Structure 1
Amino acid sequence: MAFTYVDIGSPEVPKLDGVLFFPVTPFTGAGHIDTAALADHVARGLDFGPGGVFAACGTGEFHTLDPEEYGRAVRTAVEATAGRVPVFAGTGGPLSLARRYSRIAQEAGADGLLLLPPYLVEAPAAGLIAYTRQVVAASDLPVIVYNRSNARFTPEAAAEVARLDKVVGFKDGVGDLDRLSRTVSAVRSALSGRDKDFQFFNGMPTAEVTVPAYRGIGVELYSSAVFCFAPEISLAFHRAVTTGDQDTVDLLLRDFFHPLVTLRDKVPGYAVSLVKAGMALRGHDVGGVRPPLTDPSPQHLERLGRILDAGLAIAGRDGEEAAR
């Protein structure tokens, strides 16, 4: 899928659309980053036409990567993508490290950054604004701000950071739709009259479950962890939800996404662990997760396999109908 740049002065901003791909970070048996497996993972994902690649983010276990590992992961994703779609890289954590990661991402050739929450502490709105300003200033890259965990922006704070030239998006991972609706309105009002393209994203875990609700308030882009291990299912859902095929949406939610969420919620961290396990079930060895996450139990792997089979069966039928 080709992508376009929107000119807002500086920097150039890649316009995102379609399903957004958040690759895992593969590890070897010795616990090191497996760049060959990552390059293959990204290349295979690109064959299914995602609208963007988000490397070393939440699904990519950003929280476990040291700066050298992070740089290798981002550079590998950039090289594997070869300009076909924009590559955003995660940044965040302690302020000094967040600034360093941002510079590393720029040097590695990333097109933009996804700003994850600061480390541990709860912060007032003014502190989150200051944190965002300093991380944004550390590189020349456009930044999408991630609203989740301990980085919960008020509508007014979101509007304030949206005014920053290099902040080009707001991704929500909290799920408070009342507050998000007010945030969308506040940001749009703050940017009214400005020649600036700004995008909103659904960043909830297993985002497809909340896509219908988010679309109702004008937030149509979303990240898809399922795309990592079952792009057929991810694309079938995206096709159904964007064409108004409510029967397929309902079927995929009932037989795949809702059971997956039920399994995901059994153990903290399964939002990542199940993705890597799903890739293994599809024949792609990307290793396990790093502590403090844990790999799924045998019983949960068996359950994941049944859920995956159900989703692939539905996606297969949808694909046959779409080809007619």
Structure 2
Amino acid sequence: MANGVLSFPLTAFRDDGTLDADGCRAHVADRLAASPGAVFPACGTGEFFSLDEDEYRQVVALTVEEAASRVPVVAGIGYGWAQAARFARIAEDAGADALLVLPHYLVEAPQDGLAAQVEQIAARTPLPLIVYQRGRTAFTADSLRRVAALPHVIGLKDGHSDLDRLQRLTLAAPEDFLFFNGAATAEVQARAYAAVGVPAYSSAVHAFAPEIAGAFFTALRDGDDGTVDKLLRGFYVPFVELRDRVPGYAVSLVKAAARLRGQAVGPVRAPLTDPAPADLAALGTLLTAGLDLVGAAL
């Protein structure tokens, strides 16, 4: 999975809010055509939190069909462990290769509880698990050792960007344990994560501009600092500044950008909101600038 951008596709909805399976399939097919290292359906960017179980089943199944074993399909699961286990069974039946355990719902929890949550899920699915620490979930080195000792817990995705803490986790984990940069707009922090031994990262930008995401990945991998800096200055940092204007824009801007590229992904579902007109105009200008930087057309 470190050999390409990790792609987190969007979930397409119609204007009336219902699932658009055909739109999902077309969007996933386009992401796969850009040769990602893996595809992660029904995760944060894919609005997992707004899907019912039947919709989730459709999204994972169509992604598996489109991937056709070319790349791993890692489906999101979440909420409390009992509900996460239900989603895990659905994903297994749909043919997913692994699962991303999203942060638990609502409550604060001690370290014993965080570890027990993963243990309960792991006891109920044979699929490999990647745990995602973000929001209320943040493991200590001792807790990670406990979780990593489970036979099919294979990795951790980090969304906290606390590099001191992350370095301690990488040193505590087994040598073959996988780590992923899961920061929002991960490219902005990709060099810093790589410096503590975490080069693999998820890319929301891949959902709407695989040309930009791919150019950045290649430049970072090849040590082309000039191109990395050019893309950070000209696209990624301004995108983060726009994203930070409104809560939820980490998803809704991505979906709006995909629509600007002609992708039939529809609106976001509440509680998210689509971008305001002024922000949408700014997004269009920024998207054009980013594509110009890599010689791609809108």
TM-score normalized by structure 1? 0.90
CA–CA separation in structure 1 for the residues paired with 2:279 and 2:129: 37
* Identical positions, percent: 54
Report if aligned partners of 2:80, 2:117 keep a CA contact under 8 Å in 1: no
Q: What runs of 5+ residues in structure 2 fail to find an aligned partner?
A: none
> Which structure 1 residue ranges, 4+ long, deviate > 3 Å from structure 2?
none
Aligned to 2:274: 295
Amino acid at match of 1:68: D
Distance of 2:257 and 2:71 partners within structure 1: 24
**Superposed, which structure 2 residues align to 1:1-324 within 5 Å?**
16-187=2-173, 191=174, 197-316=176-295
1:291 and 1:239 mapped to 2: Cα distance? 36
Q: Distance in 2 between matches of 1:21 and 1:247?
A: 24
Aligned counterparts of 1:17 and 1:92: Cα–Cα separation in 2: 27
Q: Per the alignment, in what secondary structure is the counterpart of residue 242 of structure 1? A: helix
User: How much has 1:152 moved relative to structure 2?
Assistant: 1.0
* Aligned residue number for residue 12 of structure 1: none
Shift of 1:310: 1.1
RMSD of aligned residue pairs (Cα, Å): 1.2
* Structure 1, unaligned runs of 5 or more: 1-14, 320-324
**1:174-213 residue CA offsets vs partner (Å, 9 max, x unmatched):** 01011001111111xxx26xxxx32110000000000010
1:290 partner SS: coil
Offset, 1:71: 0.8
Deviation at 1:298, TM superposition (A): 0.6
Give the number of equivalent residue pairs. 297
| Deviation for aligned residue 1:136 | 1.4
CA separation in 2, counterparts of 1:37 and 1:46? 14
**Partners of 2:100 and 2:131 within 8 A in 1:** yes
Task: Measure the CA separation in 1 of the matches of 2:219 and 2:140.
Answer: 33
> Aligned letter for 1:290?
R
One-letter identity of the residue aligned with 2:63: A
Provide the rounded CA distance (Å) in 2 between the counterparts of 1:274 and 1:138.
36
Q: Give the AA of the match of 1:23.
A: P
The answer as to whether partners of 2:27 and 2:264 remain within 8 angstroms in 1 is no
Counterpart amino acid of 1:37? Answer: G
Show CA shifts across 1:227-265 (max 9, x none). 010000000000110101111100100010000000000
Q: Is the 8 A contact 1:88 1:110 kept in 2?
A: yes
Decide whether the 8 Å contact of 1:17 with 1:52 is kept in 2.
Answer: no
What's the secondary structure of 1:33's corresponding residue?
A: coil
